Amino acid sequence: MKINEGRVAIVTGAGRGLGRAHALMLAGQGAKVVVNDLGGSADGIGSDQTPAEEVVAAIRRMGGEAVVDSHNVAEWAGAKAMVDQAVSSFGGLDILVNNAGILRDRMLVNMTESEWDSVINVHLKGTFAPTHHAANYWRQQQKAGKQVDARVINTTSHSGLFCNVGQANYAAAKAGIASFSIVAARELQRYGVTVNAIAPRATTRMTEGLREWTPEQLERRDPEWIAALVTWLASPEASGVSGKVFEAWGYGYAVAESWQHGPLTEASKDPATLGPAIEQIIRFSRKNAGIDRDTWLDV
C-alpha cells in the first residue's frame, strides 16, 4: 500500500532540485500532485514552464496524476489560485509542501534593498501566502463536518538555524519560516492540520559550486534522502508529528531543538551595576550552534 494513496499535494518550486524530488516521490507513493514552478533562475529572474511540464510528464509516465501550476507563490492571488487549482483538478487538498526559493547572497554592507526584499518575499511571504489559503480551505472543510488530515511541510535552512555568513537575507527568511512553522502548528491543530519544517542539505543548482564534494558526500546529498522524509511527513502515518524542525540529508535525520531558556540573573534599573552579572550568565551559557557538528561528519 502506498503511504499517500489518493492524497492531493501541492509542491512549490517543484520544477528542479528538491521540489522535483518531492513531487516525484509523493507521486510514487500515490499522491496527485500540483507541480508549481515559476521557472525562474536561481536568483529569481525570468520564468519558464518547461521544468514543471517535464516533472508532470515524468509523473504521468509513472502512471500518476499531475498538473502544472506557474503562479508566483509570493503573490496573494497567485497563491490562492494554486490552492483552487488543486481542488478543481483533483477534488481537494491534503498536502502543501512550501519549497520555492531563490538566492541573492551578499555581505550585509553590500546588500541592496532589492536583494533583501526579493529573498524575504519569495521565501517568507511565499510560505505564508500558500499556507494561509490552504489553511482557510481546511478550516472550511472542518466546519462543514468533513474529516481533515492535512499537512504543511515548510523548507527552512541550516543557514537560518545556524546563521551562515553572507546570507543575511536568506538566513533571516529561513529563520522566520522555522518560527512560522511552529506558530502555524499550534494554530492549525484544531482543524486537523500538522505543520513541520525541514532544513535540508542537498546538492541542487542553489548549492552547486559551494565546495568540492567526494562521491560519497555527493551521494549523501542526493535530494531523494530529503524527499523520503517529506513524503513520510505528508502521510497519515505522521498525524502525531507537528511543530518540529528536522535537519535532513543522507547522513541522517535530526530534530533541531528551538531556543531554550538559559542562565538567569537578577534585573536592575541601574545599568552601571549590570556588567558583572551579565558577564556571569554569558560565561555559563552555551555557545551558539554552528553549521557543522561532529555527529554529521563535519561535511
Where are the domains positioned within the chain?
A: 8-260
Q: In what order do the strands lie in the sheet with 245-249?
A: 66-69, 32-36, 8-11, 95-98, 150-155, 193-200, 245-249, 252-255
pLDDT tens-digit profile of 54-109? 999 999 999 999 999 999 999 999 999 999 999 999 999 999 999 999 989 899 99
Q: DSSP assignment, residue 231? A: H
pLDDT tens-digit profile of 120-168? 999 999 999 999 999 999 999 999 999 999 999 999 999 889 988 999 9
The pTM assigned to this predicted structure is: 0.90
Burial of 58 (0-12, 13-18, 19+ CB in 10 A): middle
Would you state the cell numbers that stand for residue 283, as one nine-digit string? 560565561
- DSSP 3-state assignment of 276? helix
Give the per-residue pLDDT at 219.
Answer: 73
Give the per-residue pLDDT at 288.
Answer: 84
Q: How many Å apart are CA 209 and CA 217, to the nearest integer? A: 14
User: Which of the residues are catalytic?
Assistant: 157, 170, 174
Fold for the domain defined by 8-260: Rossmann fold (3.40.50)
The angle at the Cα of 298, spanning 295 to 299, to the nearest 5 degrees, equals 120
Give the per-residue pLDDT at 42.
Answer: 63
Q: How many Å apart are CA 223 and CA 20, to the nearest integer? A: 9
User: For 289, left (φ over 0), alpha (ψ -120 to 50), or beta?
Assistant: beta
- DSSP 3-state assignment of 106? strand
Q: Which helix (H) or strand (E) element contains residue 76? A: helix 76-90
Residue 294 above 50 pLDDT?
A: no
Short-list 236, 254, 252, 235, CA closest to 244: 254
Average pLDDT over residues 168-188: 97
Residues 6+ apart with CB under 8 A from 157: 170, 171, 174, 199, 200
Burial of 15 (0-12, 13-18, 19+ CB in 10 A): buried
Give the per-residue pLDDT at 299.
Answer: 37
